[in-house]
Structure formats: C-alpha cells, structure tokens
Amino acid sequence: MKNVYFNHDGGVDDLVSLLLLLQMDNIKITGVGVMGADSYLEPALSATRKIIDRFGNGIELAPAASNSRAAHPFPKDWRMDAFSFDAFPILNESGKIKTPVAVNPAHLDLIEKLKSESGKTTLIMTSPLSDLARAIKSDPTIVDRIEELYWMGGTMDNRGNVAEPEQDGTIEWNAYWDPEAVKIVWDTKIPIHMVGLESTRQVPLTRSVRQHWALERQYPIIDLIGQGYALVPPLEHFETNSTYFMWDVLTTLYSQFLDVAETKRVLSDVSIAGESAGRTFESENGRPVTLVTKVNHDRFFALIDEL
C-alpha cells in the first residue's frame, strides 16, 4: 500500500478528487489538508468531513485546516461554491459529522504525517503550494520523506488562466495565489509531476460529460459528482474566464493511473516578482519536472466510472 497525503483547496473538482481518492483501494490515505483558497475554509472543511463520513468506506481520518494566506486571493464568486457543495442533501442525511478535525494546522499536520509513517509518502496537491512550502521551511528534513509530488498548477506554455490586473496573462491560479511557495518547492529535490493548463485544457467540463453522469445517477457517487459539476459553467460556444475544466480530477487520477496521460521531462523555473509572479517556465538552468502533455480523454472519463 502506497502512502498518500492529499492537500486541496475546496473547489468543486478538489472535493470530487477527494471523493475519487477515497474509492482507490491500493493506497493508504495518511492525511488531508484543506485550504480556504478556491473556497472558504469552513464549508470546504465541513464538506471534506462529510464526504469522508459518507463515502470513505469506514476510513478514519482527521482533515487539517490550513491557515496559509494568499498573495493574490481567488475571486469570491468561485469561493462560494463550497457553501453549496457542503449543503447538498446527499451529504447531510445523518445530520451530524463524525470525522474529526486535526489538532494541528495543515502545514504542521503534513510534517507530522510524513514523519510518523514508516515509508515515504506521495503528495497530491490540487491547491496552492503554501502548506508544503511552510512545512519545508519549518523542517527541511521532510523532503526526504516525500516520494513524489503530484501538483495541479502552473503552465509551461505562457497561456495562464488568471484574469486580474497587474499580471501578464501567463500565470496559472494556484501558482498565482502564492508564487513564493512554488519557488520554495521548486528549489528542493522533491520529484515533481506537474499537471498544468496545457494538459487540463484537454479535459473541459462539457454538456455531454454532464449528460453521461445524469444517466448514471443511481450510483450515489456519480450523483454527487453530477451535483457538484452542476454548480460550475461548462465549455460552451467558447472558453471564458469561468469555464470549468477537470483540473484536479486529472491530477488525482494521473497520480494513480499513469497511463491516463503522456509526459515529458522539462527543466523549469518560477518567477516570483513583478507582473509574471507565479509564472512557471522552461529554463536550461531549471530543475527537472515531469510535465503532463497529452491526456487519453476516453481512458480518463472511463476511469471515473470504474471507480
């Protein structure tokens, strides 16, 4: 059994990722960190605990709340989705929450979990890298306890997804939220798999994907996935700033089913200042990164059904 620690930030696809991870029987989930980044912390944490209660197949986990802060916060509209997700009736049948909250904040919980497991741990982060960066700062020895990092963030093609003033359009949101954290992680020896916008762009949320889930809603898990993705806009007519992609779900599935995507090894660095702060880019003097390039679309959607 492979140790896996999951850090997410409460978006719809973050919560769906958690749901799918809980269905994988060849991994041991050692901990979950929750950030109020693309969400508000309270509903994100509450939804996390309810998903573990209802769909965790009896697993005992105590998710940890992050107290990391943004350099550039997410738009409020997007962050509100966590309140709706947390209120879905399918997560509220019992009327109470059993899964407790960890005593430590998420970055300290991460350190504790990495150190208390006998083997190394694979990290999956579908969020800004702040908690990992703070954990490394506070205890650099944890780097040796990390098998690999799978991160949804960045892009190497200079086509960002941040539509805000004072940035140059080349930056992905998770990197933009805390550019320095990306640099701190980049400057370690941790093996990094990066699922950036060049690959996630290949798996947009569409009407036909939704219709597929609608037809399988007799399965409670698929029903919850369909409900979740009903909160966010699909790709129609043309891509807008709000168009939703399967960013985090691709990252989560790729981490356990490498055949979902093709990769290439690149050397990369991170910009931390000015209008490009948070930009990830290829650089001869950079560190190696396994970059996901091409997604096997059919295999990807089939996997969601299989789980």
Work out which of 3, 5, 6, 9 binds Ca ion, going by CB under 5 A: 9
Contact set for Ca ion, span 103-132 (CB under 5 A): 126
Helix (H) or strand (E) holding 293: strand 287-295
Rule CB under 6 A: which of 141-200 touch ligand AGV? 152, 161, 172-174
Residue 81 in contact with Ca ion, rule: CB under 5 A: no
| Interaction between residue 172 and Ca ion (CB under 5 A) | no
* Contact status: 126 vs ligand AGV (CB under 6 A): yes
* Cβ neighbour number for residue 76 with a 10 Å cutoff: 8
Q: Which is nearer to ligand AGV, 248 or 269 (CB)?
A: 248
User: Is 11 one of the binding residues for Ca ion (CB under 5 A)?
Assistant: yes
Q: Per rule CB under 6 A, is residue 13 in the interface with ligand AGV?
A: yes
Residues of this chain, 62-81, that bind ligand AGV according to CB under 6 A:
78
Of 167 and 252, nearer to Ca ion (C-beta) is 252
| Residue nearest ligand AGV by beta-carbon distance | 11
Radius of gyration of the chain from its Cα atoms, rounded to whole angstroms: 18
Q: Which does 172 bind (CB under 5 to 8 A by kind): Ca ion, ligand AGV, none?
A: ligand AGV
Kindly give the interhelix angle for 247-256 and 12-21, rounded to the nearest 10 degrees: 20
Is residue 247 a contact point for ligand AGV (CB under 6 A)?
yes
Kindly tell me which of 145 and 167 has the beta carbon lying closer to ligand AGV. Answer: 167
Integer Cα distance of 295 and 263 in angstroms = 9
Residue 15 or 112: the one with the smaller Cβ distance to Ca ion is 15
Strand partners, 294: 262
Given ligand AGV, Ca ion, none, residue 178, with its beta carbon under 5 to 8 Å by kind, binds none
- The whole-angstrom separation of Cα 291 and Cα 208 is 28
Question: At its nearest, how many Å lie between ligand AGV and the CB of residue 153?
Answer: 7
Q: Please give the Cα distance from 286 to 43 (Å, whole number).
A: 38
Rounded Cα distance, 172 and 158, in Å: 9
State the minimum distance, in angstroms, from the CB of residue 279 to ligand AGV: 14
Phi, psi angles (nearest 5°) of residue 305:
-65, -45
Q: Is 189 exposed, middle or buried (0-12, 13-18, 19+ CB in 10 A)?
A: exposed
Q: Are 28 and 1 in contact (CB under 8 A)?
A: yes
Burial bucket for residue 78 (CB in 10 Å: 0-12, 13-18, 19+): middle
The reply on whether position 227 binds ligand AGV by CB under 6 A is: no
Residues forming the site for ligand AGV (CB under 6 A)? 11, 13-14, 38, 78, 126, 152, 161, 172-174, 242, 244, 247-248
Residues forming the site for Ca ion (CB under 5 A)? 9, 11, 14, 126, 248
